[in-house]
Structure 1
Amino acid sequence: MPHPVVAGEFLGHPRGLAYIFFTEAWERFSFYGMQALLMLYMTGYLLQPGAVEGIAGFAGFKGALEIVFGELSTQALASQIFGLYVALIYFTPIVGGLIGDRLIGRTRAVLAGALLMAAGHFMMAFEAAFLPALLSLILGSGLLKGNLAAQVGALYAKDDRRRDSAYTAYVTAINIGAFVSPLVCGSLGELYGWHYGFTAAGFGMLIGIVIYLSGRHYLPPDSPRHASSRVKLEPGDARVIVALLVLLALTSTFWIVQAQVWNIYPLWLRDVVDRQLSGFTIPVTWFQSLDALAVLVLAPFTVLFWRWQSKRAAEPTDLVKIALGCGFFGLSCVLLALGQALAVEGRVLVGWPVVFHFLVAAGYLYAAPIALSLVSRAAPTAVNAMLVGSYYLGIFIGGIVSGWLGRFYESLQPSVFWLLHAAIGIGGGVVILIFKRRFVRELRLG
């Protein structure tokens, strides 16, 4: 069972939520700061002749990738690396959640993960350490993500209605960090030097560690780790686990689109979009901040809209919200294709990506926090952190697929490339709606 914390409240919630909120905001500052730069860094500098030779062990790494994926151009290689990085970043929380649940406890897992991530960001400042840096970030995120998210749910009893709003606050923290980091780390890296941006990300992670340590007394206590006292699976839990994993796999359809916002989309912005504004060229990384800002702007209106619907008994169920989120993601790609088709002298007007980010934000709000809350509520107590970590299974699949699809960007027309992603997003929403009743039964949501 969760261990609600009663040592004081913060805005109607356990005080521990405030420390988790700010820890997550700074962790995301560091993560998204580095991620905003990664594709631009690889395609514009690191993988170019004269620099790529300095990466320790890269020749063997590239050879292994080409055995699996075939010969790769510089852009396709960068896209594949980015896709694998994102996929592994969000796969390892499954293992990290199990380690937190069964071995070292969630608090120790979060701290170990944060230290590994800080080390990874600082190593990114050295070209030779590129591969060990990515590995450190992947392992660190695996230990931190699922366990920190599970600690949010552990602050509340299963039937506490504040749980959904707590996860909405948690996702808001993610987007605050994601908004600020491209403006800081992205600007430093894109305008002054890549290594300045990566170093700033490392310092952001250190701030997150300090905040987390300062609030340890307000965090939920870890579950017992001795075999005799651990909570065990109950009859029927296996069906719940399978249903959750299938649902999370379906959420990969909107994560495929979201992953391209950090993968191919920055290259499209750099090469195709007219970013001139009164003589000033808008940095590519600033659009990543717009992506997060759109979520922050729309979040309160979305919550108010759901409350308005609820009073009229018209609020969609969690599964319908997730399906709608997939659909919004798909429609956002239709906008990019339309903008490309209406390009003026080969340049896409900047208004198209601006509107794109707001439609993506609507999809994110309908899908991401709702899916996370649903997993936290429906997952059996014995493996709750592991399954909350499994929430990132959809992003793992999305990262793999988006990296593979990125290789076709050079051969397809951009409008066709984006319409392909539109079909993926909308198709995922339709499948969830088709199997909605089955999910309700298997997840005991009725």
Structure 2
Amino acid sequence: MATAPAASLSATGSEDRSFLGHPKGLAYLAFTEAWERLSFYGMSGLLLLYMIQRLLTPEVADGVLGFDRLRAGIEALTGPLSDQAFASQVFSLYSGLVYFTPVFGGLLADRLLGQRRAVVLGALLMVAGHGLMAFDASFLIALSLLIAGTGCLKGNISVQVGHLYQPDDEGRRTRAFAIFYGAINTGALLGPLVCGILAQVYGWHVGFGAAGALMLVALITYCTGWKHLPPDRKRQRGTVSSAPLTARDWRVIAALLFLSAIGILPCAAYYQEMNAGLLLIEASVDRGLFGWTIPTPSFNALDGLFCILAVPLLVSLWHRQAKHGREPGDIRKITIGYLIISGANLLMVIPAGWADNGATLGPIWPVMLYALNALGFIFYWPTLLALFSRAAPAQVNSTMMGVLFLSIFLGNLLVGTLAGLWETLSHASFFALHAALAFGAVLVMLLVARPVERLLAHPS
């Protein structure tokens, strides 16, 4: 398997332990991603309501460039849509495409720009996109720039986290990705709060402007840490990245594609909490708190909160296990994560059955669902990122990271398809189905664990 030479890795400071026992470059990458996610989730939290409450009003809609053509194209596939349904379609399309375009961002980095320049390009596109959100007319242009920018940035910055470490430093790399995802979820938690409050007090465009300012801070943070970032890996003559793919490389690529495909099932089980899970909360959960009713969408903040809390717990656990030689390998961690997500959905079969009979549920049930799902997610997703960054051949390293993000895109499509069963299945059966999907991934991982581990092990 083609890998970067050790010399280039050591040049990044892989033995540096100045940031929580990790290279200083991890700090710059994590804080860059935290600011970027603050921006992304802050803007996304406003998007749907902005379309419904302002953009689709008669006096505004006609002035939005390309809006009528987009609506005609979507309705040609779906039939006539209400304004709310059309806004939901646009929001879903945007949310899906930001996980589809990293494949192309990875290709751009591998073949032309390298990871660092691709990240800078992505950040600049996103700053421009947020800036154009200040004007109603440029709404679709802004979304297009944000989608393209995320495609350039998302996978390539994740690849760089893995490049901070020697290929055989599996444990530290996985813990680094857990820290990295703690930063991401900090942004996911705070972004909607910051931009939402500003939009409510000062207007939509101030909220969008705040998202743009946060993205600019992310770009400045990234450039400030430039000298601590790993060197670019792209195809150049005379380098490992320009060598033809070997038979082993192709087997590794096939194994990684297989792992990303299997990950679609637990991904759907995990993200369903933000779709049908909210429907259960809205209809059947007592949301009263000291005389105030908690808004149903606010429960989604629990995901970011519990992901943040899970990171130090798991990093500490894995560090202690590593000291005694008992830290699970990447495949085992991924399998454990899938099992936890299966258990989270299986647990919900009990209260969902009560809800089927008209009972009102206590808020402890969705809290437990979000907590267990977050724990499972931190077990498996950062580990998958670490595995792909280490094992994917150097010639297609960023591209394969983009492929992994594509599994989230496909998982979210499956979420929407399965959500259509909410009104036809009993709620208990609905959660049992999702538990079965995630457990099916567990069984597959158990079957393939040994051969995949041998194939993806760093060759001596």
Instruction: Indicate the TM-score class for this superposition, using the shorter chain for normalisation.
Output: 0.7 to 0.9
Give 5+ residue unaligned stretches, structure 1.
Answer: none
Query: Would you say 1:403 and 2:411 are equivalent positions?
Result: no
Q: Distance in 1 between matches of 2:297 and 2:253?
A: 38
Determine if the alignment matches structure 1 residue 159 to structure 2 residue 168: yes
Q: Which residue of 1 aligns with 2:129?
A: 120
Verify the 8 A CA contact 1:104 1:225 in the aligned structure 2: no
Q: Deviations over 1:143-197 (max 9, x none)?
A: 0011111111222221235322222221121122122223322444568755444
Partner of 1:372: 385
Partner of 2:189: 179
Q: Which moved more, 1:38-47 or 1:322-331?
A: 38-47
Distance, in Å, in 2 between the alignment partners of 1:339 and 1:49 is 44
Partner of 1:14: 23
Counterpart of 2:406 in structure 1 is: 393
Does residue 31 (structure 1) correspond to residue 40 (structure 2)? The answer is: yes
Question: How many pairs align?
Answer: 446
Q: CA deviation at 1:291?
A: 1.1
How far apart are 1:123 and its partner, in Å?
3.6
Structure 2: gaps of 5 or more residues: none
Deviation by residue 1:99-121 (Cα, 9 ceiling, x = unmatched): 11221121111111112222333
In the other structure, the counterpart of 2:307 is 295
Deviations 1:45-65 (A, max 9, x none): 766888766654334323433
1:433 is aligned to 446
Give the match for residue 374 of structure 2: 361
What is the CA distance between 1:261 and its match in structure 2? 4.3
* 1:281 aligned residue: 293
- Secondary structure of 1:3's aligned partner: helix
Counterparts in 2 of 1:212-231, with a 5 A limit? Answer: 212-223=222-233, 225-229=235-239, 230-231=241-242
- Give the Cα–Cα distance (whole angstroms) in 2 for the partners of residues 75 and 438 of structure 1: 49
**For residues 183 and 50 of structure 2, what CA distance do their matches in structure 1 show?**
26
Q: Report the secondary structure of 1:157's partner residue.
A: coil
Asked if 2 retains the 8 angstrom alpha-carbon contact of 1:75 and 1:407, the reply is no
Partner letter of residue 3 of structure 1? Answer: L
Tell me if the contact between 2:99 and 2:406 (Cα under 8 Å) persists in the aligned partners: yes
Task: Give yes or no for the alignment of 1:421 onto 2:444.
Answer: no
1:84 aligns with 2:96: no
The answer to whether the 8 A contact 2:234-2:395 is kept is no
Which residue type is aligned with residue 249 of structure 2? D
Q: Is 1:40–1:266's contact at 8 Å kept on the other side of the alignment?
A: no
Corresponding residue number in structure 2 for 1:253: 265
Aligned-residue offset at 1:345: 6.6
In structure 2, what is the Cα distance between the partners aligned to 1:109 and 1:159?
26
Conserved in 2, the CA contact under 8 Å of 1:29 and 1:180? yes
Quote the offset at 1:415 in angstroms.
5.0
What are the Cα deviations for residues 174-232 of structure 1, in whole angstroms up to 9, with x where unaligned?
Answer: 12212222332244456875544433222211111111111112212223653454432
Alignment CA distance shift 1:222-1:314 (3 Å): closer
In the other structure, the counterpart of 2:9 is 3
Amino acid at match of 1:364: F
**Whole-Å Cα distance in 2 between the matches of residues 269 and 132 of structure 1?**
35
Match in the other structure for 2:456: 443
> In structure 2, what is the Cα distance between the partners aligned to 1:141 and 1:95?
11
1:234 aligns with 2:246: yes
Identity rate, percent = 43
Change (3 A) 1:6 1:318: closer
Question: Aligned partners of 2:426, 2:59: CA distance in 1, in Å?
Answer: 30
Distance across 2 between alignment mates of 1:427 and 1:179: 31
Contact 2:109 2:234 in 1 (8 A): no
Partner of 2:74: 65
Distance (whole Å) between structure 2 residues aligned to residue 140 and residue 251 of structure 1: 25
| CA distance in structure 1 between the aligned counterparts of 2:23 and 2:441, rounded to whole angstroms | 36
Alignment of 1:383 with 2:365, yes or no, is: no
Once the two structures are TM-superposed, the CA of residue 309 in structure 1 deviates from its matched residue by: 5.2
Task: Give the 3 Å change call, closer, same or farther, for CA 353–251 of structure 1 in structure 2.
Answer: same
